[in-house]
Amino acid sequence: MTLTLTDENFEKEIQNADKPVLVDFWALYCSPCLVLSPILEKIAEEYRDKFILAKVNIDAAPLTAQKYGIDRIPTVILFKNGFTISGFLGVRPEPVIKEWLEKNQEIIDKVMEKVEEIIKNYQNYALKNNWRLNPDRKVVERVVMGLLANEKKYGYKYCPCRRVTDIQEEDKGKICPCQWHREEIERDGHCLCGLFVK
């Protein structure tokens, strides 16, 4: 089954999917898109237990295309928990796409191992403070993936809900658990990003 994504449902579908989502950004007037589409559909059928295929017509979803910087098509992006894992531009043969998917599945598996390790550490931290992690597992995974994305980009696990200036002295309090989390949990029952709850 192929999902059709729009500006209205893109974020929700990408973030709530239980498997990685392979998104094909395309348009009706794009000949290479029409060549790539059946290749992706065939692979999606074969790999249906490993990922979900989604299609975004850039003319019907201009905000999404703009957000992800889609300026040439076809563009294919692989997402996990709402985060970009990898992508490619243009038509590729079926064996090349399969090899790319396998390589990226290994990357996703390694990332998810790291996510599990971080979650376990944060569970222990929460228990020591008489809190708990958010009961919504998807929220926890999304926050941790955001922390890992910030670590990759900036070198530290900055809270994904805080603006990073890239000025280390100014940003050091934003490293998770951030300097404001205790106050927020006491006041609001949860920290800003929703990772820790009372």
Delimit the domains of the chain by residue range.
2-92, 110-197
CATH fold for the domain made of 2-92: Glutaredoxin (3.40.30)
Domains 2-92 and 110-197 share a fold: no
Q: In what helix (H) or strand (E) does residue 117 lie, and over which residues does it extend?
A: helix 94-128
The answer to whether 33 is a known catalytic residue is yes
Question: Which pLDDT score is estimated for 29?
Answer: 96
Instruction: From the candidates 33, 159, 191, 193, give the one annotated as an active-site residue.
Output: 33
Better pLDDT: 15 or 7: 7
Judge whether residue 47 has pLDDT over 80. Answer: yes
For residue 171, give the amino acid letter. Answer: D
Within 8 A by CB and 6+ apart from 60, the residues are: 6
pTM beyond 0.85, yes or no: no
Residues facing residue 190 across a β-bridge:
197
Task: Work out the mean pLDDT of the chain and round it to a whole number.
Answer: 94
d(CA 74, CA 33): 5
Q: Which long-range contacts (CB under 8 A, 24 or more apart) does 180-188 make?
A: 182/129, 185/131
**pLDDT band with cut points at 50, 70 and 90 for residue 114:** very high
Q: How many helices (H) and strands (E) does the chain have?
A: 7, 7
**Would strands 83-89 and 75-80 be described as parallel, antiparallel, or unpaired?**
antiparallel
The answer to whether 161 is a known catalytic residue is no
Q: In what helix (H) or strand (E) does residue 49 lie, and over which residues does it extend?
A: none
Q: Residues 57-85: what's their mean pLDDT?
A: 94
CATH 3.90.460.10 for domain 110-197: yes
Question: Which pLDDT score is estimated for 83?
Answer: 86
The percentage of the chain sitting over the pLDDT mark of 90, rounded to a whole number, equals: 85
Judge whether residue 121 has pLDDT over 90. Answer: yes
